[in-house]
Structure 1
Amino acid sequence: MPESPAIGATAACPSTVRDVTIDLLRAAGMTTIFGNPGSTELPMFRDFPDDFRYILGLQESVAVAMADGFATATRKAALINLHSSAGVGHALGAVFTAFRNQTPLVITAGQQARSILPYEPFLFAERPSEFPRPFVKWAVEPARAQDVPAAIARAYAVAMEPPCGPTFVSVPVDDWDQPCAPLTLRPISATRHPDPAALAQCAQSLARARRPAIAVAAGVARDCAWDLVVALAERHGASVYVAPMASRAGFPEDHPLFAGFLAASREAIVASLAPHDVVLALGGPMNLYHVEGHGPHLPDGCEAWLIGDNHTHAAWAPQGRAIVASCDVAIAGLLAGPDPVARAWPAPRIVAPVAGDVMTDALVVSRLAALRAPGSILVEEAPSTRGPMHDHLPILRPDTFYTTASGGLGFALPAAVGIALARPGEKVIALLGDGSSMYAIQGLFSAAALGLPISFIIIRNGRYEALHSFGRHFGLQQPVGTELPVLDFCALAAGHGVPARRADDAATLEEALCWSLAADGPTLVEAVVA
């Protein structure tokens, strides 16, 4: 009878798979692990190092969204540990959002022991590397235990390569104690430089334009290009729009050149861009649609350019020329281009202030704008309030706005926890709808357990209001299954250890917002609106 395979380190190979992996994670800076542990993951955490920390999410999608926020705010890959198929299944909606957010994540998932996989054991993953596709950039279950560290090192490199995104490694439970030779994490440079000839043509188009425009998407924020966009817009007197459904802010929304937000509709985009003869989309798609449309994608005679690090966006842009490059590098090149023709700046955007004191979502966001510190961080998932937010809650500083790029709900509440972890000492405000909050309400537990300075502002309208608005597009006056009449968010917050106050009118709203924004720990304000 053959001997059983060796367990643990040996004299010839003193390190285990776990030892080598921990060293790799430390070298990569992934010492914060997010997860909801299951049985097949436990051996990974034997002798858990003192310089690592484990952030518990009470549901797997919450853990992924916390990691998404953390990685986005740090611009470094975050590590998530999930259970096999059941846990990965719970997390897939959040993985989809991370993929759309272009967030670098390394996801590990447990698997049953290799010796019993032929018998389809309880809680095993039948096709582990296929399950999370297509919303991971790379997925594998290593052929040998000794290949696990190299797989995680590759997953890290792929996650960090632009366009960034999640990767996935399935690890059998008995792999962690196997002997393994040391492995060094190799640095890999992934900067994308633009094609010089194409960039020169783009610079010439901007310089000779009669009335240029710029549409900024999330890639501007990812590439730290906020100040560069301001300089480019001011040099050319260009109107600056936010691209449809942009998940980050790339331009100060109180700047005189700020022109507003492009809707995710073909006809609406054409109408907004009608005055312009050259438009430059930076950091993401400008022609992102949410409803079916007809006719042209751009105004007649409008020349379009797209610059960003995602080759997929470049491939499916319906019109114009695309340059695959990092925004910061490309914009620096555009600033060195030819001098623009003389042109006057367009008239500034004017938004009427909120009148009266009726409890509406517009009143809530306008008072929040007045009371919050300009550098506080806003994490938003209130779809029906997005219009009033655009009008009355301007983003003024870089890296202070985050939302989901996928449209899937359940991101913002736990992402606020991850962002607060990544930005210690800074105030984070999670602006949420009541329906959105219920997708990831367990995130309140993590905020309370960690004592994070987050103000959860829940706009309670008692239903999925965005679906009522969208239903009218399809001729539905009363969508089914959209009423939420009995939720009590103050009680839900108390049950998770978060102090809460309810605001029913303008006076109690003012008092509750002041209380929440001044707090050092997590608080929740339930703002009841018409």
Structure 2
Amino acid sequence: MSLDGLHVGRTETHVGYAVRQAVMELLERFGMTTIFGNPGSTELPMFRDFPEGFRYILGLQESVVVAMADGFAQASGAAALVNLHSSAGVGHAMGNLFTAYRNGTPLVITAGQQARSMLPYAPFLHAERATELPRPFVKWAIEPARAQDVPQAIAQAYQIAMQAPRGPTFVSIPIDDWEQPAQPVAVTRLSAKAAPDPQAMAEAAATIAKASRIAIVAGTGVASNSARDNLLALAERIDADVWIAPMAARNPFPEDHRLFRGFLPASREAIVQRLDGADCILVLGAPVFTYHVEGSGPFVPPGAALIQIGDDPAEAARVPEGIAIVADLAHALNALAGLAPARPQGSSVRRDQPAPPPPNVLTDTLLMSRLAALRPAGIAVVEEAPSTRGPMHDHLPMLAGDEFHTCASGGLGHALPAAVGVALARPDRPVLCLLGDGSAMYAIQGIWSAGHYTADVRFVIVNNGGYAALDQFGALFGLEAVGSKMPGIDFVALAKAQGVPGECVSDPGDLDRALTALFAGAGPRLLEVIVARGGGDPHADDHALEEHRGEAL
């Protein structure tokens, strides 16, 4: 059905037409025919006479369900539908709901509620204050006053989730609402991409024109606004250094480009040090700035002009100085490229290339280097290996055309199921899921969904025997972390028990063969790589201490 000329609102009454039918028709018009869930009793009537053309993706725990939907929505560029079970299911899902909120992922989350006639008596499995439970990590939450309002609520939830800045929304639905009579709901063709303010853009362009050295700090918003090509064109036009913002959850810029300078740590002093020498800082699709450790002093190098452009008014409101412009980044970068004068290409100052890792010890550094050499072209990468983040940045660059996903919230348990969602959204492209052993155990049952739905995900578990990132961060406080060791887990056995083949390597001489086998063919499989804790590098702790003063752990 065409959406042209339609708007949200009730039409004529249909005899025998129920809320369930109105919702399913609405979802089909939105293209939301993939539903992620772990069903409970209060949700079952939603799926009576499940329509042809829909598919239900089962996750074995609600946090897994939300993360799968997160990956699916990011990869498809459209909102995904999640179905949770009352208070208990929403509670289980909160960690990855927080991540979806920080990732800016559009999700429509429905949750079951007990029958309306029972609610005054606090029944079993009811959700007291249902709309308050998922806050503040949803943009909008509602339990409709009447059953007939459920389709309209879901239509509104979709539109709000897709408006910039994108994010999750929530609808609580009593079990007896689904069979109540309803009316069809039409759909608004909503366009909410904000154009930049011309006067502010002219001021930004003038600031750029008089700068002698420009630094761009690019974040997740560049990717979520489909503005990578626009950023590349602008950076080359104004010959700007390009840094990746702290905690960026997507890859905004090709890491093999001559203008790429590296990754900013989440530390105020360290950011100022890295940007030293620039007299104009242009922050795109990222906050100014995300910090992980307490700091002091200036936010940017003294004397540097600061310009921030993004689609989130709340981020703009927090900018401590300079100019903040709220706009869709693709529009804004096109406008800026038209206003800012072209600058001559300076002498190429390439990012320092780290020395190749020694091949005689199996370290995470060696693993990243060999993954870069052997990965299939165009493979998507989903990462949650905190203690390996530094070696990944140094030895596994994300290139033009690659898609990179990670967790913006700092919580664990996202990447494994998110990789399954990415693969389901783009079945023509394999996915590499890079996990630490500690991270993997937060959502290990997600492997079952990968096997059951034959998602083309290649899981690599970097097994260093525990939460090594916690040890690295503990050094900041001069203490030894407690509870950071977790030996004895057999990830290959865990994968095989869930229908996914696996292999374990601990000898560096076996690594290339194992990686080649991992990437051969299609379908999910797992490789566990036993690496030396601390990287096997006598200076690894010093390097980690420097990097993790600002990195997420």
Give the TM-score normalised by structure 2.
Answer: 0.92
What does residue 470 of structure 1 align with?
Answer: 473
Match of 2:132 in 1: 130
Q: Does 1:394 align with 2:397?
A: yes
Question: RMSD of the alignment, in Å?
Answer: 1.3
Mapped to 2, the partners of 1:473 and 1:231 lie a distance apart of 40
Does structure 1 residue 504 correspond to structure 2 residue 520?
Answer: no
The answer for the alignment partner of 2:426 in structure 1 is 423
Identify which of 445, 449, 458 aligns with 1:446: 449
Report what 2:524 is aligned to: 522
CA contact under 8 A between 2:239 and 2:343: conserved in structure 1?
A: no
Residue among 60, 66, 70 paired with 1:64: 66
Pick the aligned partner of 1:461 from 460, 464, 486: 464
Equivalent residues in 2 for 1:178-189, closer than 5 Å = 178-189=180-191
Residue pair 1:18, 1:44 contacting (<8 A) in 2 also: yes
Q: Which amino acid aligns with 1:284?
A: A
SS at match of 2:392: helix
Tell me the distance in 1 between the aligned counterparts of 2:254 and 2:345: 22
Moved more, 380-389 or 341-350: 341-350
**Cα distance in 1 for residues equivalent to 2:310 and 2:386:** 26
Find the counterpart in structure 1 of residue 242 from structure 2.
Answer: 240
- The CA distance in 2 between the partners of 1:498 and 1:348, in whole Å, is 41
Cα distance in 1 between the residues matched to 2:90 and 2:312: 26
The question of whether the paired residues in 1 share the 8 Å contact of 2:20 and 2:179 is answered with yes
Q: Which residue of structure 1 lines up, in the alignment, with residue 293 of structure 2?
A: 291
Q: Which residue of 2 aligns with 1:275?
A: 277
1:48-59, aligned counterparts within 5 Å? 48-59=50-61
Would the alpha carbon gap of residues 502 and 445 (structure 1) be closer, same or farther in structure 2, given more than 3 Å must change? same
| 1:405 and 2:401 are equivalent in the alignment | no
**Residue identity matched to 2:363:** T
- The equivalent of 2:546 in structure 1 is none
Q: Percent identity?
A: 58
Distance apart, 1:194 and its partner CA: 0.6
Which letter does structure 2 place at the counterpart of 1:235? R
In the alignment, what sits opposite 2:339? 337
Q: How does 1:177-216 map to 2 (within 5 A)?
A: 177-216=179-218
Aligned to 1:219: 221
Report the secondary structure of 1:171's partner residue.
Answer: strand
Q: Distance in 2 between matches of 1:135 and 1:57?
A: 21
Q: 1:36 to 1:433 in 2, by over 3 A?
A: same
Deviations 1:486-511 (A, max 9, x none): 11101111111110010102222111
1:187-209 CA-to-partner distances (Å, cap 9, x unmatched) read 11111111111011111222221
The corresponding residue for 2:381 is 378
- Give the corresponding residue for 1:22: 24
Provide the C-alpha distance between the structure 1 equivalents of 2:310 and 2:39, rounded to a whole number of angstroms.
37
Gaps of 5+ in 2: 1-12, 533-553
In structure 2, distance between residues paired with 1:375 and 1:427: 8
Secondary structure of 2:21's aligned partner:
helix
Q: Judging changes above 3 Å, is the alpha-carbon distance between structure 1 residues 205 and 346 closer, same or farther for their aligned structure 2 residues? A: farther
Cα shift readout 1:85-133 (whole Å, capped 9, x = no counterpart): 0000000111100000000000000001111111111000011011100
Partners of 1:12 and 1:211 in 2: how far apart?
A: 65
- Per-residue deviation, 1:20: 0.3
CA distance in 1, matches of 2:357, 2:153: 58
Which stretch has the larger CA shift, 314-323 or 265-274?
314-323
Residue by residue, what CA displacement relative to the aligned partner does 1:259-307 show, whole Å, maximum 9, x if unpaired?
0000000000000000100010111114110000111111111111111
TM norm structure 1: 0.96
Corresponding residue of 2:364: 361
- Tell me the distance in 1 between the aligned counterparts of 2:230 and 2:157: 32
Kindly state the Cα deviation for residue 354 of structure 1 after the two structures are TM-superposed: 2.0
Closer, same or farther: CA 37–18 of 1 in aligned 2, 3 Å: same
2:35 is the alignment partner of 1:45: no
Amino acid at match of 1:200: A
- The answer for the alignment partner of 2:112 in structure 1 is 110
